Amino acid sequence: MSINTILFDLDGTLIDTNELIISSFTHTTEQYGDRLYSREEIMSFIGPPLRESLAKIDKDRVEELVNVYREHNMKHHDELVEAYPTVVETIETLKEKGYKLGIVTTKMRQTVEMGLKLTGLKESFPVVVTLDDVSNAKPDPEPINKALEQLDSTASETLMVGDNTHDILAGKNAGTKTAGVAWTIKGKEVLEALDPDFMLTEMREILDIIGG
């Protein structure tokens, strides 16, 4: 297998933002929901674009909900976010070996930059495609295609790594190889059902996959 490019989702893949996201949704639903939402329901909001998830709470006040969510999210960001085990050293190794690296996320750029800076990953990713950069979010292939264009890469030589069904489907739709991460909050069985090419139990296993 010839892989020279690796694209990563951010939240739930490289950095653990799960509790931050859950607390931000909980904070927002407590103010705007017509009832109490369970943790399992709130977990279902993780992955799709923020506005899409918040529309399920109150479709008529989405922008208001976005502002409340983001204010809470940014206020508590640094205390609740960290990189997953072996992520930082694996990314550094990939960079040293000359692999082309990119981020493809459904997050908005401001909070993406916060996460990359906090975890020391920012300098390793010359290309970062956020929700602000595309018309169609994952699972549409547009974000991946945009990253490939900026990296001067081809889908057939690319691996897309993610923790959500949107990531695996986007990779398949774009024609890349795909890898799920077993630490997904959704449960790895959800990803295995989509038949990704690989399933990582920790990030450093990617070095074995690409022959590094």
Q: What does the pLDDT profile of the chain (212 residues) look like in tens digits?
A: 699 999 999 999 999 999 999 999 999 999 999 999 999 999 989 888 999 999 999 999 999 999 999 999 999 999 999 999 999 999 999 999 999 999 999 999 999 999 999 999 999 999 999 999 999 999 999 999 999 999 999 999 999 999 999 999 999 999 999 999 999 998 999 999 999 999 999 999 999 999 84
Which pLDDT does position 203 carry in this prediction?
Answer: 98
Nearest C-alpha neighbor of 130 from the set 154, 118, 119, 114: 114
pTM of the predicted structure, to 2 decimals: 0.92
Which pLDDT does position 211 carry in this prediction?
Answer: 84
State the Cα–Cα distance between residues 42 and 178, nearest whole angstrom: 26
Coil, helix or strand at residue 93: helix
Active site residues: 9
Which pLDDT does position 167 carry in this prediction?
Answer: 97
| 182-187 LR contacts (CB < 8 Å, sep 24+) | 183/12, 183/84, 184/12, 185/12, 185/18, 185/43, 185/46, 186/43, 186/46, 186/47
For residues 7 and 160, the answer to whether their CB atoms sit within 8 Å is yes
Query: How big is the chain by its Cα radius of gyration, in Å?
Result: 17
Which pLDDT does position 1 carry in this prediction?
Answer: 65
Instruction: State the chain's maximal CA–CA distance in angstroms.
Output: 52
